[in-house]
């Protein structure tokens, strides 16, 4: 990508199980809009872990969380914040949690916020924005075979037969 871009998307919402799929779809739509189609699957998988953690641990306490996406042209940063001061525990990648986030990202971290909550974030390096190529439709029929150009009809002469009759008369005379 030529030059640096500075794109940011912020979404504050109430973390509920019903909202998880909506937040994933919103994040995926923004990634596609930014030309990061190839990042949708890994980012949404890692984001799912962060959002599930908020729903399970912080959702009942405050009922607020924020999702933020930042695209610099070379690095994508995804963060989820809530007002629960408890930091998430690192598990192995096979069991989920931050272990899975770590496996899907280049870097990750967590920090406390001024309001007593926390932010959990991860980054992914992206060499260049890339769109997934759409499958090319297969035409129903190939190009028609080469056909001769139509022969122009002769201009009728006064008193002579009409142009449509001339080929018929010529064919009859040839016999």
Q: Would you list the domain boundaries of the chain?
A: 7-125
Structure confidence at residue 139 (pLDDT): 59
Contact, 82 vs 19, CB < 8 A?
Answer: no
Contact, 80 vs 88, CB < 8 A?
Answer: no
pLDDT higher than 90, residue 97: no
pLDDT higher than 90, residue 20: no
* Average pLDDT of span 111-131: 85
Q: Which CATH class is domain 7-125?
A: alpha beta
DSSP 11-69: EEE---HHHHHHHHHHHHHHHHHTTBGGGHHHHHHHHHHHHHHIIIIITTTT--EEEEE
Question: Looking at 19-33, 122-136, 160-174, which range is the least confident one?
Answer: 160-174
**pTM score of the predicted model:** 0.68
């Amino acid at each position: 990508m030529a030059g640096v871009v500075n794109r940011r998307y912020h979404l504050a919402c109430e973390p509920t199980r019903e909202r998880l799929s909506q937040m994933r779809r919103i994040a995926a739509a923004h990634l596609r809009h930014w030309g990061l189609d190839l990042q949708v699957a890994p980012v949404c998988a890692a984001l799912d872990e962060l959002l599930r953690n908020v729903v399970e641990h912080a959702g009942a306490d405050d009922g607020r969380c924020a999702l933020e996406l930042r695209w610099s042209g070379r690095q994508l940063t995804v963060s989820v914040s809530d007002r629960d001061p408890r930091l998430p525990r690192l598990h192995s990648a096979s069991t989920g949690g931050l272990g899975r986030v770590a496996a899907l990202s280049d870097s990750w971290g967590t920090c406390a916020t001024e309001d007593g909550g926390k932010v959990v974030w991860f980054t992914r390096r992206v060499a260049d924005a890339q769109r997934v190529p759409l499958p090319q439709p297969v035409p129903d029929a190939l190009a028609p075979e080469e056909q001769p150009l139509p022969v122009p009809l002769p201009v009728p002469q006064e008193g002579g037969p009409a142009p449509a009759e001339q080929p018929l008369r010529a064919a009859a005379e040839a016999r």
